[in-house]
Amino acid sequence: MPAIRTASPPPLMDDHAIEHVLGAFYRTPRAGGLDHLAGGGGPFGFDITTACRLHALIAQFACDGIVESGCHLGDTTDYLARAYPHLPVRACELDGQRAAFTRARLAGRGNAVVHHGDSACLMPTLLAGLERPLVFLDAHWGSEWPLRAELTALQDTAAVVLVDDFRIGHPRFGYDTYGGVVCGPDLVADVLGGVRRMFIGDVEADYPLPCLQPGRRSGTGIIVLGLDDTPLAAHPWFAAVPLRPCPVLPAWSSVPEVSGR
């Protein structure tokens, strides 16, 4: 009997993309640790699987720009400007000294702009002229946590939104809690009443570039606004989280979650 041939699926990242992400990621200086960033700084908290996911999202949705809220000392902004020189990268930072540091750091990168101010207030400026931006929400510090206001400012736009420090229900991955409110799917369901599902980064999937960060790792939430989200439901790096009637996180194969941060 002749062997049955099945077409193997195309790679999620080809060799060129892997080398590109790898090179940009490890060439980016880790300044964040100089100013108390958990885990010593680095792009995305030095978690290269987040960089892989972001790369997949940009390719999948043909994003035409990148916005970052809360750039701190610019570790992720620097990475994004290196990895995506063909895209505008717009960042903002509430703290004036950090904004000035990041602006100086990125002075040689023509595709990056750093704004000083509150992320939710700046959102229209950051999004101006972009039709399908990738928006990385990472603004928080001390008592400051503008996520609710940021999501409200984004709700009528078309965008792929990636939220850092997001609760995914896995014990290895931290998340933020401010004033008893968890950075997680319940908050998203509450703010974005018209969104029926979101996604989280699947931390048990296979990635071409495994994370070697021994320190803190955080969960990632992904919200697709005003664009067709069906491609993500079929993508092995993302797990769907229904938001209605109430959010349901995946059951991970690892041990149950024990605490927040």
Region from 5-13, 134-142, 198-206, 232-240 binding ligand SAM, contact rule CB under 6 A: 134-142
Build a one-symbol-per-residue string for 104-133: x at contacts with ligand SAM by CB under 6 A, - elsewhere.
--------------xx--------------
Concatenating the DSSP letter of every residue in 2-34 gives PPPP-PPPPPSS-HHHHHHHHHHHHHS---GGG
Question: Smallest distance from the beta carbon of 213 to ligand SAM, in angstroms?
Answer: 13
Tokens describing residue 174: 């931290």
Tokens describing residue 85: 């020189």
Question: Smallest distance from the beta carbon of 101 to ligand SAM, in angstroms?
Answer: 10
Per CB under 6 A, which of residues 2..21 are in contact with ligand SAM? none
Closer residue to ligand SAM, CB minimum distance, 31 or 243: 31
- Compute the distance between CA of residue 92 and CA of residue 123 in angstroms, rounded to an integer: 9
Question: Smallest distance from the beta carbon of 26 to ligand SAM, in angstroms?
Answer: 15
Per CB under 6 A, which of residues 144..203 are in contact with ligand SAM? 144, 146
Interaction between residue 261 and ligand SAM (CB under 6 A): no
CB atoms within 10 A of CB 62: 9
Tokens describing residue 111: 């595709």
How much is the CA Rg of the chain, to the nearest whole Å? 18
Q: Strand pairing partners for 144?
A: 141
Concatenating the DSSP letter of every residue in 99-151 gives HHHHHHHTTT-TTEEEEES-HHHHHHHHHTT-SS-EEEE---BTTB--HHHHH
Question: Smallest distance from the beta carbon of 197 to ligand SAM, in angstroms?
Answer: 26
Interaction between residue 32 and ligand SAM (CB under 6 A): yes
Q: Figure out which of the listed residues 69, 157, 218, 220 binds ligand SAM, where binding follows CB under 6 A.
A: 69
- Compute the distance between CA of residue 185 and CA of residue 243 in angstroms, rounded to an integer: 7
Closest chain position to ligand SAM (CB): 70
The residue ranges that bind ligand SAM (CB under 6 A) are 32, 44, 68-72, 75-76, 92-95, 98, 118-119, 138-141, 144, 146
